[in-house]
Structure formats: C-alpha cells, structure tokens
Structure 1
C-alpha cells in the first residue's frame, strides 16, 4: 500500500500531489485516468495502475519530482521504452517517463570513444548521432528501435551483439544518480584514495559508501562462491562489482537495479568501433538440441554474434508472413544457428565464416551451411530472428503465449543438455509447442510458454513450473534471467539461485540506498509474488461488446483484439516503416499504437476507464490516430488500430452528434456525386473569397487546407460516351474501379490507366452505376452506412465477381478496403471474399496477366522517387507497382519515409494540421525537396499527392498509371492524360459547396439508394 492508498482520502492526496508536482516540475504532470491507464503495464504479465505520470524536460526536473514524492512518502520509478518483460516498469507509484524530452547527447569524445547522454535517448537514435564518429553502443537488444539507454541500464540489457561487446554493465563508465532522499552524485570505480576523500566528507554520501564497503567485506566470499561464472548473469544486484578485483565500481553495481535503488540522471558510456564489414553464416541442424551442441565448436572461432532458433519460430513467421524473404535463406534443417563474423572487409569476415563452416563439416556437426555476404540479405535474416517475440505471441490455432520464463541462461557449453532437460520439464507440465530461440553463444534461451493465466488452476501450475525451472537452471549453474531482469517475475525466486545469504545482502543493499522502500517497491527484493498483479488473473472478465467488424484472427472477440498488443514497443521507433506517425510527431505514449491498445484494454476491463464506449480518454487518444494501418503490418503482433478506431467511433457516436468533419469527409463520395451535377459553378462558388472560409468552418476543416476543384467531367461519364474503343482484347476483361478520387477529381489518372490496360490487351469494363468501397464512412466510424454502401456495390459487381474478373483499383486505400476491411466488416459474405481475392493494383494485374507487356519506346526513361501509400504498405505491398515503373524504363526508388500525414480525412480535420505536417516533415518532405528537379515524384495515393503538393507547390506528384501512359507510343493514348503532369493537382478537402442544405443531402442519399 502506498502512502496515498493509506490515506483516509486518497483522491485528495492525489490532487495535492499533482498540484505540488506541477508547481515544482518543469515538465508535464498527468494524473488523469487516461494517462494512468496508458502506463498500467509494460511487456510483462503484470498490471498496476500508477498514481500519476511525470514527463520531465530535464534531469533537474526529474530530481524535483522525486523531492516532491519524498516529502509525501510517495513511491516513484523510472521508465524508458516500457518494454520490460518482468514487470519492472509498472507499479502503483509516480512514473517518470524520460523518453520524450531527456534525449540529449551531451558530449562525445571521439578520440576516447566515450559519450555522455541523458537516459531517455533511444539506442538507435544515439547510434545515429554517433554514426559519423565511427563509434556505437555495444549492446543491441531486439527492441533497439524503442529501448532507451536508461532502460538498458535498468535491466542490464544485452542483445545479440553482447557476444562481442558484453552486457550494458560492461559499457558504463560513470553515472550521475539520485537517491530517493536527495543524494545526487556521480559514481563509478572508486580507488582507496577516492574512497577516503568521500568518507571524510561525513555526509549522507559518505554514509552510503561506508555501508557499501561493510556490505562488500561481509559478503565477499559468499558473492564469489554463489555468483555463476557465465556471460549472461543478469539476475540479482551486481554485488560482484563491489569486490576489490572489480574496482569497487558503484556505477556498475547500480546497472541492472531496475529503478529500485536510485534514479539515473546522466550516463557516461564507453563506445565500441562500428565494424567495417560483417557477414552472416547460417547453419542447419536436425533439432534445436543438436544446434546447441555445436555452440562450443562455433565459439572457438570467436564470432561477433551467435544466435539459435528452432523450426517452430520459422513456421510461425511463415504462417504470419513475417520477415518475408529472410526465411528462404535458411539451409536445410529444423533448427539453425545464425552466426555473425566481423572483419576489416567482407572477404576477411567471410574467411572467418568459411573456416568455421569447414570446421563444423569436418567434425560432422552439420552439412547444411550458407554464408551470406549481401548486407540487405543479412538484414532480413536478422529481422527474422528479432521478430521472435511477435511471431510466438499469438500462434495461429493455438493458445497465446506469455513471458515469465523467457530468458534463463546457462553456461554456453551446456546449452544442449539444458534444452533436453527443459524440454522434458515443458512436457511434464503439458506446455506443448513452445518455440525456443535466443543468444546461444551466451547460453541465453528465449521462449514464450502457453501459460494459462486466467484460471486459478492455470496460475497455480504457472507458479509450480517457474519454480521447478528455477531449480533446473540453478542446477546447471545458470541465471534465472539472462537479459530481461528479475522485476516481479523472478524476484521471489532469487534465493533458489543465490541462496538466502546473498538475498539478505540484496535486501541490505536496498536499505542502504532506499531505506523506506519507496523506489519501485515490490521488484527484485521484498518482491510481490510472481502470481500477483497479473494483467488477467482468475477473476479476469472483460466486457464483450457486440461489434461491426468480425475480428476473425481474434476469435471474433473485440476483447482479444484489444489485448493483442504484447508491449514490445516497435510503434515507438522512428527509424523505418510507417508505424506510428502520431507517436513520431508527439512523442506521447498514448499516441503510440501500444498506448492506444492499453487504453482499449482498460476500457474493457472497466475498473479505471469506467464509461466504456463513451470514454473521452479513449476518444482523445484515438483522435490523433491517422488510421494509416501501418501497425497492421509493422507491429510484430499485427495490431490494427485503424480498425479498432473505426469500431470505437461507431459506438462512441451512436445516436449522438458527430464532429462536423465526419459529415463533410465521411460523406465525400455522396457529396461529390451530387456536386458533379454542376462542377464548374461549384468550383467557382467554393473558391470565392470568404465563401471558402465559411464552408471550411461549416465542415470542421482546418483553415490551412483548400477545398478541391472537381474535374469538369466525371471519368465514368466520359467512359460511357467514349467512341474510340479498341476492337480486340487478347488478355480478357478487367474491371477498372472508378473510386471517388479518380472518378471526380483526378480523372486524368483513370484515363491514363485505361490507356495502359488497353495497350496491354485487356478489355476494360467500368461500372455504369454509382459504386463506392465505403472507405470514408469506415475511417469516420460510420459503419452502418459503410455496410449499406458496400452491399450495394457488391450487387453491382456481382456479374464480374462470379466470372472471376480482376478488379483494378487505382487508389491504394480503396484497394485495401476490398482486401482487408470489407472481409471483416461483412464477414461471411462470399462475394466480399471473392472481391478481396480479385482486387488488384495496376502493377499487380500487369505482372500477373501481362508479364511480357512493355509500354513502348520507353522515352520516359529516368528515375522516380516513390512514396507508397500507407494502406498499400500495410495491406497490398508495393513491389509490383515499382516493377511496373521499370517496364517504362523508370528506376523507382521506394521511399521509407513513413506516413505522408494527410491520411484521408485526418489531415483536413480541424486540430490535426500541425501533427499532419509534422508527419510529412519527418522524412517525406525532406526527401522530396532534396530530389533532383528532373526526378519524377510518384505517389499513387490521393492523400500523398495532395500533401506533397500542399507543402511544396513546385513538385507535382503523379500516379504510376500516368508514368506508364506517358511511355505509350500512341499520341492518342497519351491524350487521355495530357493534363495530368502539367496541371497542378487540385488540393483536396471536404466538398461542402452548395450542399449544406438538408434537402440536398436528402436528395443525394436518395440518389445513392436508387443507384448503388
């Protein structure tokens, strides 16, 4: 119980604490239910609702926050990336989140290879900053995109590179730390003279040092006897760092203390040289135990990394389409070792790898090996290994798996025998199908086990298993944790590994630094039980609301979908991919995919977020979700926040007035159809000075955006009256889908696509009735309307679907609706599933049905910068369309620039403009502006083209169809898109002109009902 919980009036105490923190702290202080729910858990099995969250702008602000907490006897702990698997970063306390502001590189000594940094900086971010110096941080956990230096210190992180560079403790030179009672000091190795000087000062610091010396002297022999001599001893406090032979190093003592002893303010890190070159060797074995048996032979060759993985991991990655392409590199076998060698050049590294392979073949350890030199291929292989947690968390057709015994370590030369005994233990407890992989060169084994943590019997069995596993590891002279720390998961088991006397030394160390047990209480020492504070528990019973989407991969239950996130935090990275644009713009946990998933979980749990679908906390967190779907592909466990957002909005606004933009943007297809009755007068009217401002205000649209200009004629109208139809079609029919955007605004694109398809030998059909995929209604959560529109569209397409005619969709977001959204929204409708299987992008239909087609003289040969639409990245893939550019002689460079930030209606809605622009300015717009003037900018997404044009009026992005059409030899075929590249693309937005009257809207809706 905290001091607040003991209070007769805890809410009053919280209010006073919040007020005091806001007065004292330069930073953000949040005690609202949304913030507390967002930080309720990490990547572990545990859940504890914090008292509040402080996001300090400086280490001094954090120190002030701790002083306020100390004055009120309130517990506190630090959090970085929040990816802990043992429960270290959730507690009933005040959370200090360092990751938003305290991210500075304070100094770099390029000669000595030393950097001083603040604890909130991410590992990849720091290594990027160090790149020009030729140095890097040695340890590299799989969560390197999101883990922070402070978090790595907290649990003594390792990763695959620890084989060459050691654990985080081996990289730390000095640290500036703060005790709960206010002692602030730089600590590091302490010789006798320094010790004497400190003790002579006679203050609290000297008291700490004297107590540490007494502790060391009293327990030195026990520490030497009980600490296993293995490379991955992460469990327990680093009392061995106090020994004389270790230099009485207080900094190294505190590494791995999980915020239970001190708060780290600044860090001095010893760096390592970036390898000049590296290669990867893949070795195949009949089973994982045989792979482990080969580890000692591999270690004789001094590899830089030595990882193992079994067939279960690769099968799961195959079934979930993870690390695509990487698994094709694997040699024959059912288990593999992945070995990295560094060298002065590729030949040097490859020579070491080949020597190792020859050795293993000569000794008969394996006959299946491959050496990979290409850096891109190596990167894909490492991605497969790093994707282990995501691949194994939700195995298709099987029970979910959990941490709890996921990182034990034994001596590397005994891994094979340990795995055999561990496998027997799993069998004895009935935990079948647990994949095993990890850092075999250091004897650290990762596994996620299908524990039942939702029933009393299952939880008791979980306790029995981990206790037995702890005894097994101790018998092997190993460590309960080889990487992730003890936290709550292993704290109570430490006596099995170390004995009671060493655990007593841990408790004494805790009292030296934190005599009142206010620093992250209940973790490591004086721990909460390993089966307490579970996220689920025997009484777990979330709400099970009826939903619009089917959630077929989550047992058709929204509660399971909302619990899909396992906390790995990849959404908090900003290096590559699309996920998560709003987090990249704001740095806020609640604006990450993980943070939103946590809030949805808490909404269904109902004891913090108590108003269900009506929750303003959840609504506000989802407000800045761009619905880009990047998480559906980039998240290791495929959280689909765009779908969850649409579901939430549909219930939140049921029977209530919606934001104005939901009507203007959500009803865009209908309003466009009505407006196209008289597009020229509408264009003139909407761009009359003053009128446009009023219309945007009425539609809830940000003032920075412009209302679009309609095409003078709808593409479908032009097509219906077209007379120059080709006489022959050698490749059969296709349906060219007239989406709202190309049909009403960028009609040149549709005409260009028509020219390309006909030149390729297709008979092109275009629906004669009004059709719509329902995208704008889905993205605004108007799901009843979306289903109504989709059903009418299916009726129109029925003949084509029954004939298995491909449907070519030019707008990626509409294609993604057909492939992914509608099959879940109208789950079980066979025509929906037919449509999903028949939907093609232009590049896809050309690759599949016209692989030998080329657009002619290739006069447009050159280069292009290609911005993939987020939905295309997540659902469709981009390879076929980039390849299509190559048929026109255009070298397409696919940007890895994240979301454009416009994302359909998001970037137009009032209040979103700054975030929208920040997303684009992160990577996309700098790439566009730095591109050579003669480089074509290709963006198939309407939103992407609009955002680029809006932010840089000098560049006019085009669609793939326009590039291909421009390369056609016939001037007639090019005529259909002659205005495309020359005419500045109209800026997009809501279409409200002349349509605000209820009568017009009603008439438009009646028209849609009559003409599906």
Structure 2
C-alpha cells in the first residue's frame, strides 16, 4: 500500500495515544502545534498529522513501527529552515532538535566525529574547536541548521569550492530503514560480510546493479557541476565511482530529503582549523561586471567568493543592526560586491593574497576597488550580514517578496555572466526583478524574483519563470538545484533535468528503500506540482479575519487589520531566532527548546489566529495565550530578527484581545495598577511588605494570585523618591528633565538620587516635570501594556506626553524598559509628530553621558565591573553607551557579560507558573558569570528586574545600577 494515496486524519487521537503509550517522547497533536510545524522557510504550508519530539533513538524506532502499522507517513525534521518544502508534509513530524543532539565521539587524529542528527552545525564546531578541527560545510544557517537536515538537503555553503558538499564530507550513516531494520551505509566491500542482514545485503546488491545498468545514462545526463544536489546521488552507485573511491553508499542517502531512511547517527569528515583569514570586498559598477570577474577571482585560490547585490546593499542599510557594517563595506555607490576570503595558518601569505586581488581587480579595469577586512571584528560583522542575506532580502514590506523557487541554479563560471543576464531578461519580461546573492565562486547564485504569492496571476508568473529559467539552465548544461534540494518546488522538474530514464531510476531507488512510501513521500520523486495553491501558505481562502481591530498603530506595514497581519507575515520561517549564542533572542526558546516558545513559533501561531485558521476569535484564545506565555517581551526580535518581527508589540495586541474578551486577572491587574497604588504603599511599607515578612502570607498569595512563595517581591521603601526633590523645568540651557520610573522611585530610590548627583556633577541642571494638577507621578503605562490594558496605557501616555512635550530639554531616565517605552510604544499608542519629538529626546543617562561627554571628575572605585545588559538596552543599541560610560571611571576594567535575558522580565520571574523557565533563562549564561566574579569586583546591571534576579539567584552577589558606580566615583561615596 502506498501511503501517499491513503487519507490521514489530522491530530489522529489513536495515533497520539499509541505514541504517548509506546514512546517517551513529547506528543504534540493540538491544532496550534500542528500549525507551527506546517511551514518551513518555503512558500508552502501543509498541516502534519501530529508531532513527536523523541527523547531517545528508541522513540524514533517505535514511532516508525507504529506509523508503519497505522499507515501514516513519517517526516524527519531538523530546524525547519528548508527553502523548498522538504520539511512539510501530511505526516507525523519527528523533531530531532530538542534531545537528539549529542556528539557521540570525536577521533581528532583520524579526523572523524560521530553525531546525532539533531545537533546544530554551530554546536558541533564549538565542540570540535578544542580538538583543532571543524566541519567545513557552512550554510548561512549554521547557527541553527542541524547535521541531519544538512545531510537531507546535501548542504553546501560558501566554502564548497574548497571542501566540497555534504556528500563529500559524510563518511557513514547509521540508518533506520522503513521496514524497521538498521544498517550502516558507508564504504562497503563488494562482497558483504556474513554479519550483514540479508535484507540489507539484498538492498545493496540491487542498488549496485542499478548503478551498473544506468552508468552510461548517469554519465550523460548528470550535470558536470560541483553544485548538483537534485535527484538522488546515483553516481555513487556506478562501478566507476567505486573504482575512484567515491562509491560510499552514504552519498546516496545524503540529499534524499528523509525519503530513503532516518539518519540515526552520522560519521563526519573533519578538517584542521585555519586560524587566520583576510577578506577583500571587491566593488563593481555593474552586476554583469561582477559576474564576469568571478571566473578570474577564483584563480587566486580563495576559500570563498560571495556576491552581495545592490538590493541587498540598500535593504541592509535600512536595517539598523547592519547599517554601519554595510557602510564600511562599500566604497562609493557600487552596484555589486564580491567578498573574497583567504584562509590559512600564517598572516603574511594571506596579505599577499590581498595584494594579488588588488592587482587582478586593476587588470580587470577596477582600480582602487577593494576594501580590505583584516581585523576580526569587521570580518565577523561582514559574516553576519552575508549569513543574513536571505532574511535581509525578505525584509521588504508588503505582499511582494523575493520568492525561492529557482533559488540555486548553478552553471559554469564561464557562462555565469551570460546566464544571469538572460535570466534578468526573463524577469523583466514578466514585469519583475530578481535579488541575487551568495556563491559566485561555484556559479551558484541565490536568485529570487519578487512576486506576490497571494495573487493567482503572480503564481502563474512564478510557473512561467520557473519553466523558462530551467530551460536556460539546461541550455548551459547547469544544475537546476545547486544547494537547497528539490522539495516540492523542484522535484517535478527532475524529469526535464535528468530525463525519463533516470527519473524512473530515482523511483526505483525510492521503492527499493521504501516500497510503501512511508518516509516523506512526494519529495524528489512522484511530486505534486510546484504551483499547487492548495499547498501554499497563502493559498485559496487565505484572508485576514475582518473582526480583528488592532489597538496599536501598525501602519508601517501595508495590508489588512491596520497592517497587523502584514507585520506578522514578516516572519519568513528561516529561524534566526533559534540561534543558541548568548545575544538576547530568543531567551525562552533557549531555555525550553520548544518550537512553541520561539519567535517563529509565536509568529506562526498569530498568523494562523489572525486568518481564522485556529477558529473564531482565536487571537484571544488559550492557544495563543499559551504560545505567548513565556515571551518575556525582551524586544530582541525587533532588533536581532533580520526582518524586524516585533513579538513584544504583537504580544500586547494578543493580550489586549484577551483582556477585552475575558477580562484581566487579579494578578495582572495588581501589577498593571502598580503606579497607581504604589504611592500609598510607600506610606505604609510595613503593610505593603508583609507578604515577604509574615509567615504563611507568601503561600496564601501564591494560591490567590500566583506569585511564587519562593521568591521575595520587591520591597517598598518609606523614603521613596518624591517629585518635590527637584525643581520644575524652566526651559533654560543646560537643563535636563529627569524621568523617574516607578520601580526605582518606590523600590530603589537611591538610584534616582545618585542620578541627580551625577547629572549635577556633569554640569546639568536636573528638573522634574509635574503631572497635571499635581496628581500622582507621571507614568509610561509600561505595566498596563504588559497586561494588555492598552486603553489605560494610552491614557498614561497622553498624560505624560502633555507634561513632557512642552519642553525641548533631554528627558533622562535610568530604567531601560520604562524609558524606551517613550521611544517605542508611545509611537504606537499616540502616533504623531509630538510623540516623535519626545521619542527623539528620551535617553538613558548613560546614553546622554556617552553622547555629550561632559567633564566628570572621577576617582577609582574598583578594579573591574562586570556589566550585564538589560534586554532593552541591547535591543535599542544602548548597551555600548553603558559600557562606555563605566569606562570613564579611572582604573575600572569594564567586562560585558555575554548573556541573554536574566529571566525576571518585570513580574514574569515572580510568577509561580514561570519559575522553571525563569531560572533556566538565568542559568544559561548570566548566573554562572555572576557567581564567577571575584570578590572586590563589581556586578553592574541597569535593569531593576535584572538586579532582583541576581540578588535572588546569584549566590549572594549584589548588582549595582551603573549610575551608582558613577556616583561613587564622582562624589567619593562608598555606600555600595
């Protein structure tokens, strides 16, 4: 029975029960989970039957057996970053990324490592670094792509000209076959040993017989390109390949997109690390000039030659995180760049390589057209831009996006200029243009025509462009799939590419491994049409729910729902948020490793909710609330996501919808109203703090409100900061308006008083704007936004804007989350010129000092300060200012802590439901670093939440606000 022809029930409860009973894995069969796994980075959306997250390999074996018995297809999945639709199917998805991610062994001398399929390339190379080895296949998604997924796609990367493809670097695969047997594919002897199971021996002999029978056709029809990853690697089966030492049968599984076997363990070829590199960024006046130069530049024996076109230059400049790097990379206004890399063990030969590059560019008519990059920081920034190429391209706002369907065509370098010129003519003929970037060294350029996949007419245009493009590829004897595989988008074109006879041979290989079509059916062979709109993410019937009325301003994004859906659709599913390194994004995912707790997972949930795919009024549903429950509103995605997905702002919309539909809980209302009742609490702190001091009250409060009994809440202070401690603004020169936040005002007033002293020591005249009619202090509405109480937050914003908008002085705060509300959320609550003017004046005290560099007479206070950046400091690029300001203190060595979110995030870390996640976030990097700080050195954190988290969990260390350190250094005070 072929499982492709069998209808399969979505969320099949019988299958879910069997998996829960017979495996130890996590069984995810709810509508939200299925929706989150229905997409990858392609244009397709296919809802799976369900999802299994296995804890051990035995879970995978059991799941395959269950699915074989139940007649349900199986889809192995890594990071879900595939461009062609390989990782979506009507099947049981097996997500290997959470648990099956170990390095099983490393033999550095032999240059071999054995790994599980779910380990990411970045994690693998981190583990290999102490051995002086690395795995060289380096796709731009290296931080999150998995080795199993790379093998499934036959990944390549920028350095394939030096190291080859994945198929060249996989020595063996320990495979689970569809029939339940297990066999290691690798270099096998012609006569298989007696210990080989009969079924596996028969399979190998059948494959070899097919290779011998089709050897001439393979030689005639397989494109002579390094970057050929379409179809199955039948060339590994031929007698000639075996004679040349390329008959390793693992090559056949590499590139099979999970359709032949499940890779239980992979043996990888390791290479010595080359510790030094230099880059030359070649500037070209036209795209064709760059394409013509590529074949000459590779003669210099570089490690890589990568293209950046004009579109990517312009879009990169529009993204704050990349703007400075792009400006440094370009000289003048080039149309295209080629980034040439030289790697080695000694610097002098590499510098000579740069000299030869300058000479060659001059010989090609491009004098003084190379920007050198020899320092590691600049090189890392360039790599970040290059690796974000896809996401930079996808940062275009609106329905028209660069679409991946002819993404990886590869031709000989001698033909590259003519091929790309003709393809641009095809785009122009159809009224569009293409974006180009990536691997000029091997004639494989990532090209994406800009199309609107919601428009049936433009879907027809996509089909026409694909057919004309692939005809051009065949004309130049190239490969239509040069890196990202076949999936849905290219599998149907394998027959025109390879011919009918080899297509039947591909089918014969699939049938030999998987006669019932159990494993990822419909990919590589027997594929659906690439333009079947029923498989599209934006397919027939896709539309915004007209009942959704956003509470915030989303007009920067075109489209329905005031632009809200367009903003959510900026998530292209490429999964940058899965990166494990300790920036900020995405802290909850780094703690749980659950797709639900990922920016991508949340964006998919919101998109499904906003388009009615999770039922009516789904924005207020439990499903959406669960997906957002661990979002700490760190704002990192707004900055670190290359397409600028602002999940914190989107969470406000969802919380607002839920608050309108279901009301606000007592706990959330208590936190939201804090600025209103805090003035009264500060008058009777012994009562306000009783929950922390009276035995039993903490337990009662946990039961009644959900605040964890194990955590001490912030302590109200009788000496709270008062408005009358500063004069009212007068508008004189040198005046700054202090903006006291409620957290420092009522819990740590010494920080605000230190800020006053530092401002005066720096020559400023601090003043304080009064609320209208002397009412309660001004407030940003930050706490209301956290509860989804947008109307109340807007009222607070209007009150604050009225009081502060009359003056032109800088508005200075010391609490990042509160101050940046004036620069960010105010613009969505009260869009307009007056709000923009206030946002432009609102600065943290450290930003003011770093920008204006006032004279401060400072003395030494400690040998070193270890500073943790608040998430919003990092997300708004204000952390460097905090570091620079501390560095003004004589003798103080400022050491930034490489950390993500502290895990407290306002009230998040105080809630009983979040204790495990809060502590896990903190333990990822922050708390180990804090505990390691030597006695006598300072721990600094400008966020109230961060300081409280460190005080509670940091092993007895106290963190200071940076303004306290400046105050100590300027006034001689030692009251730390």
Coarse TM-score class (shorter-chain normalised): over 0.9
Distance (whole Å) between structure 1 residues aligned to residue 321 and residue 847 of structure 2:
21
Shift of 1:396: 4.8
Tell me the equivalent position of 1:239: 234
Determine if contact 1:169/1:255 at 8 Å carries over to the other structure.
yes
SS of the counterpart of 1:896? Answer: coil
User: How far apart, CA to CA, are the structure 2 residues paired with 1:2 and 1:97?
Assistant: 24
Shift in Å, 1:764:
1.0
Q: Given the superposition, is the C-alpha separation of residues 377 and 464 from structure 1 closer, same or farther in structure 2, using an over 3 Å criterion?
A: same
For 2:711, the equivalent position in structure 1 comes to 705
- Give the structure 2 partner of residue 809 of structure 1: 813
Q: Secondary structure at the residue paired with 1:576?
A: coil
1:385–1:874: structure 2 CA closer, same or farther, 3 Å change rule?
Answer: same
8 Å contact 1:820–1:875 — kept in the other structure? Answer: no
> How many Å apart are 1:42 and its aligned residue?
0.4
Moved more, 857-866 or 534-543: 857-866
Return the alpha-carbon distance in structure 1 between the equivalents of residues 570 and 886 of structure 2: 38
| Residue of structure 2 in register with 1:264 after alignment | 263
Offset of residue 3 of structure 1? 6.1
Deviation digits for residues 433-480 of structure 1 (CA, Å, limit 9, x no counterpart): x32111100111113322221122111111111111111112122111
Match of 2:52 in 1: 54
Mapping of 1:808-827 within 5 angstroms?
808-827=812-831
Shift, 1:93, TM fit:
0.4
* Cα distance, 1:965 vs structure 2: 1.4
Superposition pairs of residues 567-646 of structure 1, within 5 angstroms: 567-646=573-652
Q: Does 1:132 align with 2:130?
A: yes
Candidates 797, 817, 820, aligned match of 1:790: 797
Superposed, which structure 2 residues align to 1:4-153 within 5 Å? 10=9, 14-153=12-151
Q: Given the superposition, is the C-alpha separation of residues 536 and 729 from structure 1 closer, same or farther in structure 2, using an over 3 Å criterion?
A: closer
Q: 1:22 to 1:833 in 2, by over 3 A?
A: same
Mapped contact 2:293–2:364 kept (Cα < 8 A) = no
- Change in Cα spacing, 1:184 to 1:366, as seen in structure 2 (3 Å) is farther
Given the superposition, is the C-alpha separation of residues 397 and 44 from structure 1 closer, same or farther in structure 2, using an over 3 Å criterion? closer
**Partners of 1:393 and 1:10 in 2: CA distance:** 34
Distance 2:606 2:756 in 1: 44
Partner of 1:424: 425
> What is the distance in 2 between the residues matched to 1:316 and 1:291?
19
Per-residue CA deviation, residues 419-444 of structure 1 (Å, 9 max, x unaligned), is 11111111111113x32111100111
Q: In the alignment, what sits opposite 1:985?
A: none
Distance 2:116 2:955 in 1: 40
Distance 1:320 1:81, change over 3 A: same
- The change in CA–CA distance for 1:788 and 1:78 in structure 2 (over 3 A counts) is same
Change (3 A) 1:4 1:481: closer
User: How much has 1:947 moved relative to structure 2?
Assistant: 0.7
Give TM-score, length-normalised by structure 1.
0.91
Partner of 1:273: 272
* 2:878 equivalent in structure 1: 877
Report what 1:757 is aligned to.
Answer: 759
Mapped to 2, the partners of 1:60 and 1:588 lie a distance apart of: 21
Which of 939, 942, 945 matches 1:943?
A: 945
- C-alpha displacement of 1:26: 2.2
Give SS of 1:358's match: helix
Residue 507 of structure 1 corresponds to: 507
Preserved CA contact (<8 Å) 2:227 2:483? yes
Checking the alignment, whether the CA contact within 8 Å between 1:729 and 1:763 is kept in structure 2 is no
Query: Following the alignment from structure 1 to structure 2, what is the Cα–Cα distance between the partners of residues 686 and 437?
Result: 58
Aligned residue among 189, 208, 219 for 2:187 = 189
Partner of 1:370: 371
Deviations 1:482-525 (A, max 9, x none): 11111001111112221222212111111111112221112111
The structural deviation recorded for 1:655 is: 4.5
Contact 1:716/1:766 (<8 A) preserved: no
Q: Deviation at 1:267? A: 0.6
Q: How far, CA to CA, are the matches of 1:420 and 1:835 in structure 2?
A: 49
* SS class of match (1:448): strand
- CA drift at 1:198: 7.8
Q: Is the Cα–Cα contact under 8 Å of residues 38 and 88 in structure 2 kept in the other structure?
A: yes
Q: 8 Å contact 2:171–2:248 — kept in the other structure?
A: no
Distance 1:30 1:683 in 2: 42
Taking only aligned residues, the RMSD between alpha carbons, in angstroms, comes to 2.2
Name whichever of 538-547 and 506-515 sits farther off.
538-547
Residue in structure 1 matched with residue 291 of structure 2 by the alignment: 292
The one of 946, 958, 961 equivalent to 2:960 is: 958
Offset, 1:729? 11
> Partners in 1 of 2:59 and 2:955 — Cα distance?
43
Q: Which residue of 1 aligns with 2:530?
A: 530
Task: Check if 1:839 corresponds to 2:842.
Answer: yes
Greater mean deviation of Cα atoms: 124-133 or 398-407: 398-407
Question: Aligned partners of 1:731 and 1:346: how far apart in 2?
Answer: 53
Query: More displaced, 534-543 or 219-228?
Result: 534-543
Q: Is the 8 A contact 1:33 1:609 kept in 2?
A: no
1:654 aligns to what SS in structure 2? helix
Cα distance, 1:265–1:611 mapped onto 2, change above 3 Å: farther
Give the deviation of 1:149 after TM superposition.
Answer: 0.4
1:217 aligns with 2:212: yes
- Do the aligned partners of residues 4 and 422 (structure 1) sit closer, same or farther apart at CA in structure 2, a change above 3 Å counting? closer
TM-superposed CA distance for 1:214, in Å, is 2.3
Task: State the partner residue of 1:485.
Answer: 485
How far 1:892 sits from its partner (Å)? 2.2
| Matched positions, count | 958
Change (3 A) 1:579 1:452: same
2:2/2:517 contact within 8 Å kept: no
C-alpha separation in 2, matches of 1:649 and 1:942 = 23
Q: Residue 552 of structure 1 aligns with which residue? A: 555
Secondary structure class of the residue paired with 2:662: coil
Distance 1:10 1:151, change over 3 A: closer
Output one character per residue of 1:230-262: Cα deviation in whole Å (capped at 9) or x when no partner.
121111111111122322322111101001111
- Contact kept, 8 Å, 1:198 with 1:206, in 2: the verdict is no
Counterpart Cα distance in 1 of 2:658 and 2:300: 61
Q: Give the match for residue 387 of structure 2.
A: 386
Which residue in the other structure is 2:669 paired with? 663
8 A contact 1:716–1:768 mirrored in 2: no
Shift of residue 588 of structure 1?
0.6
Contact 2:454 2:539 in 1 (8 A): yes
* Matched residue, 2:774: none
Partners of 2:79 and 2:146 within 8 A in 1: yes
Which secondary structure does the structure 2 equivalent of 1:163 belong to? helix
1:32-65 residue CA offsets vs partner (Å, 9 max, x unmatched): 1121111010000000000010111112210110
Deviations 1:322-379 (A, max 9, x none): 4243213324222111111111122232222222322332343553113221111100
**1:360 lines up with 2:364 in the alignment:** no
Which stretch shifts more, 256-265 or 890-899? 890-899
Q: Distance in 2 between matches of 1:63 and 1:178?
A: 7
Separation of aligned partners in 1, 2:390 and 2:118: 24
CA distance in 2, matches of 1:952, 1:883: 25
Q: Which residue of 1 aligns with 2:680?
A: 674
Instruction: State the 1:106 CA deviation.
Output: 0.8
Whole-Å separation in 2 of the counterparts to 1:896 and 1:568: 25
What are the Cα deviations for residues 907-957 of structure 1, in whole angstroms up to 9, with x where unaligned?
112210111011010011111112222222111111111111111253211
Alpha-carbon displacement from aligned partner over 1:100-135 (angstroms, at most 9, x marks no partner): 000111111111110111100111111111110011
Distance 2:590 2:653 in 1: 24
Distance 2:299 2:802 in 1: 68
Q: How far apart are the structure 2 equivalents of 1:151 and 1:46? A: 18
Residue aligned with 2:416, SS: helix
State the distance in 2 between where 1:363 and 1:91 align. 49
Q: Please list every run of 5 or more consecutive structure 2 residues that lacks an aligned counterpart in the other structure.
A: 772-776
1:144 Cα deviation (Å)? 0.9
How many Å apart are 1:4 and its aligned residue?
A: 11
